[in-house]
Structure 1
Amino acid sequence: MSAYVEPMIGRYVHVDIGGEMHRIYFEENGAGIPLVCLHTAGSDARQWRHLLADAEFAKHFRIIAFDMPWHGKSNPPASWTGEEYQLTTARYTETIRAFCKALKLDKPVVMGCSIGGRIVLNLAIDHAAEFRALIGLEAADFQAPWYDTTWLNRPDVHGGEVCAALVSGLIAPQGPQAARTETLWGYKQGGPGVFKGDLYFYRVDGDLRGRVENIDTDVCPLFLLTGEYDFSCTPEDTKRTAAAIRGAHVTIMEQLGHFPMSENPEQFRRYIEPVLAQIVASAKATG
């Protein structure tokens, strides 16, 4: 095997969120329609590395994946003094919009998974006109909690290993072992209490029941794709949510679980390629 350099480039952007500057790490590749990718709870943008390196997608999209504050290479803000981290709907929405504004992205596509899929729905409710299209992976308006979050930030347990153990069953069995291991490795490296703080949004603050009916897909197309093996956001959860949204596109992905872009990138590509192709075709048709 010969050495090679992957095409994505990593940089930092300083973004005003809530009146304070945050140093946010992001990676990008390609040119064309901006495609902003949101990672899952407790992890970071490394989940998107296969999509970032996809030469065919990069011909039509400027693919961008960033680490939320407290995640990956994005540190907490300078003013943080150790208080418990909790992600809220308002803060999450503001972070995404501020990031897009800082990079001067014109009508970007936003694709998020898990908590990223949930916040995509909120973007569709409140800010649809700012985006070209929205893609929710493993997305629904609400899921009943099936886990005990008190284990996720305790001094007497290894937080990262507990987080990885919690989500390990959400990966479909058909995924390559190396990809499965890599997906869980990201969870093992998460900061103390970060996964728990993200789940505050997912379990409590981000309940969108009764609001998704306000989504207008004529303003911004909405695509929802969920893995058949996901028992956190089940296919039934996604279908229930989509039934309340006129014009939403729904796909149930075979042989995939809760982390499609990282647990089995080749299988995920089979499903996301036609979605991205439709966005490109629409962009060409409208000039």
Structure 2
Amino acid sequence: MPDFEAIVGRYLTVEIGGEQHRLFIEEAGRGIPLLCLHTAGNDSRQFRHVMNDKEVTDRFRVVAFDMPYHGRSTPPDQWWLKKPRLTTKLYLEIVRAVWTTLELERPVVMGCSMGGAIVLKVAADYQNEIRGIVGLESSAHAPGRYNDFLHHPAIHGGELCASYTYGLNSPYSPEQNRRENWWYYSQSGPGVYQGDVHFYSNDWDAREDIKTIDTGRCKVALLTGEFDYSCTPAMTEQVAAAIKGSRYTLMKRMGHFPMIENYPDFRPYLLDALDHVAA
């Protein structure tokens, strides 16, 4: 028999801001819903190891999706008339629209990088609707990442974005895995990564919002790699200090993309965080 993986992928129409969006959703497992949010300019393939980990999928229904414009999702109507520009408000609408359309009951929401940022706002605004968050490389404020060369007619955008982010991996992570993440980034549509960084670097500031998170209702686990120089450990420490009862762990020998760059080393940190938020 063919040795199929347990991951199942399907398309789902989701209403976001009054518009219909055709999103690609993949999932594996059963149990507590675990909604995974990919990084800027990438897609849900980054979570393939999580969805193939039986110890995770025996307890969790792991769901990952490609954001509009990203991966295998279809761009919105008349996308050619406007630049991709993600904002905090729109991002929050997208994430909540997915879990309500899928009827996920009190999910755990896990995101990395820009996904690790927005989960903080998800916890602040919807802490009565979710079980908890796992923030990978989470920052409440990250200015200075945006630049015009991320979408420039004289530069190959796919290779630039892929190589720009390649340096955020840990030098200890296997090259095969780092190159896999590079490959996913290289397939991003024109201007998509820049549009995401607009959110992450220009629009995002949750330094006051996170102070309202009640970890008695919504558990918070924060994991950041010691080699991450985009969301540095110090930035996540500031987040943890502002959220009473949150749990922060520094991941040794890890970079900015733990779930894809070095899953075996990331796995113990992940399992411990999931135990915490699902308790």
Instruction: Give the alignment's TM-score, normalised by structure 1.
Output: 0.94
RMSD: 1.3
Alpha-carbon separation, structure 2, partners of 1:47 and 1:61: 17
- SS of 1:256's partner is coil
- Alpha-carbon distance change, 148 to 14 in structure 1, aligned in 2, over 3 angstroms: closer
Alignment of 1:59-138 (within 5 A): 59-138=58-137
AA in 2 matched with 1:233:
C
- Uncovered stretches (5+) of structure 2, i.e. residues with no partner: none
AA in 2 matched with 1:187:
Y
Shift of 1:10: 0.2
Shift of 1:127: 1.0
Task: Check if 1:268 corresponds to 2:266.
Answer: yes
Shift of 1:210: 2.5
**What per-residue deviation string (whole Å, max 9, x for no partner) do you get for residues 198-248 of structure 1?**
011101111112222111111200111000000000000000111111001
- Uncovered stretches (5+) of structure 1, i.e. residues with no partner: 283-287
**What per-residue deviation string (whole Å, max 9, x for no partner) do you get for residues 24-47 of structure 1?**
101100000000000000000000
Tell me what 2:241 maps to.
243
**What per-residue deviation string (whole Å, max 9, x for no partner) do you get for residues 146-172 of structure 1?**
x45211111111001110121111100
- SS of 2:21's partner is strand
Alignment of 1:47-66 (within 5 A): 47-66=46-65
- SS of 2:24's partner is strand
Choose from 164, 168, 190 the match for 2:188.
190
AA in 2 matched with 1:42:
G
Alignment of 1:143-162 (within 5 A): 143-145=142-144, 147=145, 149-162=147-160
AA in 1 matched with 2:221:
F
The 8 Å contact of residues 107 and 131 in structure 2, kept in 1 or not, is answered as: yes
Alpha-carbon separation, structure 2, partners of 1:148 and 1:54: 35
Alpha-carbon separation, structure 2, partners of 1:58 and 1:209: 33
Alpha-carbon separation, structure 1, partners of 2:113 and 2:248: 15
AA in 2 matched with 1:8:
I
Shift of 1:191: 0.4
The 8 Å contact of residues 142 and 231 in structure 2, kept in 1 or not, is answered as: yes
Tell me what 2:37 maps to.
38
Report which stretch shifted further, 257-266 or 211-220. Answer: 211-220
AA in 2 matched with 1:221:
K
AA in 2 matched with 1:254:
K
AA in 2 matched with 1:162:
L
Alpha-carbon separation, structure 2, partners of 1:82 and 1:53: 39
Report which stretch shifted further, 208-217 or 153-162. Answer: 208-217
- SS of 1:130's partner is coil
Alpha-carbon separation, structure 1, partners of 2:59 and 2:146: 42
Tell me what 2:24 maps to.
25
Same amino acid, percent of matched pairs: 48
Alpha-carbon separation, structure 1, partners of 2:234 and 2:252: 14
Choose from 210, 214, 218 the match for 1:220.
218
Alpha-carbon separation, structure 1, partners of 2:240 and 2:92: 21
Alpha-carbon separation, structure 2, partners of 1:216 and 1:254: 28
AA in 2 matched with 1:77:
P
AA in 2 matched with 1:224:
L
Shift of 1:115: 0.4
- Alpha-carbon distance change, 235 to 154 in structure 1, aligned in 2, over 3 angstroms: same
Tell me what 1:285 maps to.
none
Alpha-carbon separation, structure 1, partners of 2:246 and 2:14: 32
- SS of 1:231's partner is coil
Alpha-carbon separation, structure 2, partners of 1:28 and 1:275: 20
